[in-house]
Structure 1
Amino acid sequence: MYPEHIFPNSRLALSVPLLLTLFLGLQVPGQCDLIKLKQGGEIRGKLQRLTPESGEIRIIETLTGGRIAITSQQIEFITNRPLSVEEYESRSKLIADTVEAHLELANWCSENHLTSQRHAELEKVLLLEPDHAKARAALGYTQRDGEWMTRDELMRKNGYIKYKGRYVSTAELELLEKNEADLAEERKWAKKVKLWLTLMNSNNAQLQQEGLKNIQAIKDPFAVSALSRQMGKHENYLVRSLLVITLSQITGDKPLRPLAELALTDPVQAIRESALQALSRRDVSQAIVYFIEALKNRSNLIVQRAGEGLGVIGDESVVPELISALITSHTYRIRVPDTTSTYSFGTNGTFGNTGVVLPPEIEAGLLAGRYPNGVIVLPSQQPRVPMRTVSVRHSHQNEAVLSALQEITQQNFGYNQRLWQLWWSSTQNKTGIVPVVQ
């Protein structure tokens, strides 16, 4: 019926060179359809509208002017993207892995208004040359005390957070979010909670029970601030566990932030899990924002916990953020012998240059993201030679983030962020021409 070629099911695959040929044959502005095939290939061009005569056959006009017919059963998804994105992907596959080549492509991205792709190329520059000043500046980094930091990281380090586009202290944030009547109510609770915690810490069993009973009975949302401030970082894990139970019985949005902080940062796994379960039983639309923000945390450990949390309490609205956090880069400061060599993670996952290797337990900890960013890790046996501190940047594949994506979407593209982004784009396509054939 059709003069175009129909791919057999058993041999359906397009090579990268063929895709590049299909794309590079036509360089015009506009939009382009991308068909992802179930057996691993891609076809790019302009998808023709379905007609009653076409049945299960989809026709796509390639960027070189040819026409290809494909059965709907062979298609995994279809999405639509600007041609400039297609050209970027083609160029990125062809360039050399050098600082100069990535900088040149980053400039091309800037000229074509491809912001995220430009950032990706600049990040590749930093992998090759971590102290490249122009790339750092373009990505918004500044150098403080020998360490590169973004403006957000610098402000957070100085105790400021962003509120409606400007940086404020945590104390100022509380004032901005509350009126005087609210603050007066919270001050009353601060005195009560402090007194009851003191009773719980006494040597008198009767007073201990009195303090415990009073805290367990709290249900007023205005008590949340005092509870979280005085119990959230308490050295006794039983007190923090009591905080989770107490917050769980308070209605409204006020308990969401402290419960999220416990789920993300508490050192005791049982407390993190109970806080997460408490959140999962509520309307968490307001709490999700704390986990999304944590996906950008400097500590890979917090990123993993955020992914786990979103897998439990998240919905499809968090998919783009999870895709962006599938692979994250983190910086570690490590003491090494003072040589002229450059230190970095090797392709086999080891750290160091020839003749200099960290102890296995240190390497394993870094690779697993167990060390907070900025920590200085000292080798167990320091050689009697001059030492210096170096910054090492390592990219982590975040298993918890991938699990969250799989749980929410029932899809699995592994750590291939590009395929995830293509699939997500296809689900958001409102043109009505996207077939989903299982």
Structure 2
Amino acid sequence: MKLICRPTAALFLAATWFAAPAVADVFVLQSGGRIEGELLTPAAETPQELHVRTSSGDMILPADFVAEVIEKSPQMRNYEAILPQMPPDVEGNWKMVQWCASNDLPVQREHHLQQILAMDPNHAEARHALGYILRRGEWIIPNQWNKNQGMIRRNGKWMYPQDVMLSERAEKYEDGANDWRVKFRSYLLQMRRGGERAAKAQAEIAAIKDPMATQPLIEMLKDDKYQAIRELLIDALGNLDNGASTLALTKVACDDPSASIRDRAMIVLERRPNEIAAAQLISLLHSKDNRVVNRAASVLARLKHPAAIDSLIDALVTTHQFKVTQGNPGETSASFGSASSGGFSFGGAKPKIVTQEMRNEAVLRALVETLQQEGLTANFGYDEAQWKLWNSSRQMPLTVDLRRDG
């Protein structure tokens, strides 16, 4: 084929460039077509033409017909040289896979892997090389499988849409919490300076309604540096009626060393729906520490939640272990607590663990007051059996029909 066009200055420049020695193999045409061949030395009398030798014969191309000349790499030349020697079977293709991997020819490597699977669909090495894994007897590509399951890739992980939504919500919440941490640092600085700015900062903390401020407020409440404003922080948490604030206030009501702070937290809990607080306190009635049992009962006495009745009956008398230490004759000391903190002491001998039943006055008081709140009057002291009998009878239906149909 010989293609001829009228010479121009642009053609001359292009031909001059192509006249340099080259080993180009692919000629990309302006029209989008591609021709593979070898660039020959252009004829001196026609510098605007490119002489190309292809497998079907020689061609002459006008230089401005060609958009790009792609030179084959030495690895590609070697690949084409050894390819005809490859046996057209699984073993031959697998050797070519390994050779292509060593010579950085990923496209050719994948071609030979696909050829292997066409001949042997269960070829494990080829499957693994293409990214497959065997799951329940079926070869799958994890990414494609995850897509088929409706999953979305986010931050390098595959997640279900609902998990993505929850993750985005958590990130948004954390961003909002960080903004509040910055605001609180500013409020604290203003309060240290005193004056009108301090009063304004206190008023703004007391007026907080944003639930994203919950976690920063809880963190400040736990920090010993902010003892002077803890009552303000408790009141601010009281404005945020959510599970996290309720659990934080419940812990303060039970554990805080300050009686006034405990009382303030209990007042806040009394003003809001307290199912979450009651559930947390009921779980504490099973604590191995007798002090925790009675503190939880004291808060329940304030909340008077009927869901606690059964657990209060069970916790009237609790069993706890104590550590007893024996020592020199005549040396005796005693302390009560959990198994890891205190006990009877008789010198420095090896301690023993003893078990003791404890009557819990705070539990009895919480039980009686909760029943009174429900319009019930009963008091069997610490007699759990009598309490359980009474509790069972009050929960039974008034009439029972024992007749059977038919």
Query: TM-score, normalised to structure 1's length?
Result: 0.47
Q: Which amino acid aligns with 1:374?
A: S
Q: Is the alpha carbon distance of 1:428 and 1:209 closer, same or farther for their aligned partners in structure 2, counting shifts above 3 Å? A: same
Query: How big is the shift at 1:195?
Result: 5.1
2:224 aligns to what SS in structure 1? coil
* 1:156-214: CA deviation from partner (whole Å, max 9, x where unpaired): xxxxxxxxxxxxxxxxxxx99x6431442234324523652475267522565565344
Q: 2:151 matched to which residue of 1? A: none
Task: Give the aligned partner of residue 422 of structure 1.
Answer: 389
Match in the other structure for 1:357: 332
Secondary structure of 1:181 counterpart: helix
1:375 corresponds, among 312, 333, 341, to 341
Shift of 1:303: 0.8
Paired residue for 2:305? 315
User: How big is each residue's C-alpha offset from its partner over 1:64-117, in whole Å with a ceiling of 9 and x where there is no partner?
Assistant: xxxxxxxxxxxxxxxxxxxxxxxxxxxxxxxxxxxxxxxxxxxxxxxxxxxxxx
Sort the Cα spacing of 1:200 and 1:391 in 2 relative to 1 into closer, same or farther, 3 A: farther
- Looking at structure 2, the residues matched to 372 and 283 of structure 1 have their Cα atoms a distance apart, in angstroms, of 33
- TM-superposition CA deviations, 1:344-396 (whole Å, max 9, x none): xxxxxxxxxx84531xxx54xx2xxxx455224696xx85xx43333333321
Q: What is the RMSD computed on CA atoms of the aligned residues?
A: 3.3
Q: 1:19-52: per-residue Cα shift (whole Å, max 9, x none)?
A: xxxxxxxxxxxxxxxxxxxxxxxxxxxxxxxxxx
Q: 1:406 Cα shift?
A: 0.9
d(CA) in 1 for partners of 2:181 and 2:202? 10
Query: Using a 3 Å threshold, how does the CA distance of structure 1 residues 258 and 179 change in structure 2: closer, same or farther?
Result: farther
1:263 aligns with 2:253: yes
Distance 2:223 2:254 in 1: 13
8 Å contact from structure 2 (residues 290, 320) kept in 1: yes
Residues 236-315 of structure 1 aligned to structure 2 (within 5 Å): 236-315=226-305
CA–CA distance in structure 2, aligned partners of residues 328 and 373 of structure 1: 14
Distance (whole Å) between structure 1 residues aligned to residue 233 and residue 317 of structure 2: 33
User: Which residue does 1:406 correspond to in 2?
Assistant: 368
The answer for the alignment partner of 1:332 in structure 2 is: 322
Q: Distance in 1 between matches of 2:168 and 2:342?
A: 44
For residues 258 and 177 of structure 2, the distance between their equivalents in structure 1, rounded to whole angstroms, comes to 27
Q: 8 Å contact 2:220–2:226 — kept in the other structure?
A: no
Shift of 1:398: 0.5
Q: Which moved more, 1:303-312 or 1:204-213?
A: 204-213
Tell me, yes or no, if the aligned pair for 2:286 and 2:293 is still in contact at 8 Å.
yes
Secondary structure in 2 matching 1:218: coil
Cα separation, 1, equivalents of 2:340 and 2:225 = 23
Q: Flag the 1:393–1:378 CA change in 2: closer, same or farther, 3 A.
A: closer
TM superposition shift of 1:259:
1.1
Question: Match of 1:193, as an amino acid?
Answer: R
Q: Give the CA deviation at 1:215.
A: 2.4
> Within 1, Cα distance between the matches of 2:186 and 2:324?
42
The amino acid that maps onto 1:423 is: W
1:255 counterpart SS class: helix
Task: Answer yes or no: is 1:188 the counterpart of 2:155.
Answer: no
Deviation at 1:273, TM superposition (A): 1.2
Q: Tell whether the 8 Å contact from 1:264 to 1:306 is kept in structure 2 after alignment.
A: yes
Task: Provide TM-score, normalisation by structure 2.
Answer: 0.50
CA-CA distance at 1:297 after TM superposition = 1.7
* Matched position secondary structure for 1:402: helix
Which of the two has greater helix per residue? Answer: 2
SS in 1 for 2:276: coil
Contact 2:339-2:353 within 8 A present in 1 as well = no
Residue type at the aligned position of 1:272: R
Q: Report the 3-state secondary structure (helix = DSSP H, G, I; strand = E; otherwise coil) of the residue aligned with 2:230.
A: helix
CA distance in 2, matches of 1:312, 1:203: 35
**SS of structure 2 residue aligned to 1:286:** helix
Contact 1:186–1:225 (CA under 8 A) maintained in structure 2: no
Classify the secondary structure of the residue corresponding to 2:351: strand
2:341 is the alignment partner of 1:394: no
How far does residue 321 in structure 1 lie from its aligned partner after superposition?
0.4
The residue type equivalent to 2:340 in the other structure is: G
Residue 405 of structure 1 deviates from its aligned partner by 1.1
Q: 1:205 aligns with which of 194, 215, 224?
A: 194
Of structures 1 and 2, the larger Rg is shown by 2
**Structure ranking higher on relative contact order (CA contacts 8 Å, 6+ apart):** 1
Moved more, 295-304 or 232-241: 232-241
SS of residue matched to 1:395: strand
3-state SS, counterpart of residue 250 of structure 1:
coil
Give the gaps of 5 or more residues in structure 2.
1-162, 372-376, 401-406
Tell which deviates more after alignment, 182-191 or 286-295: 182-191
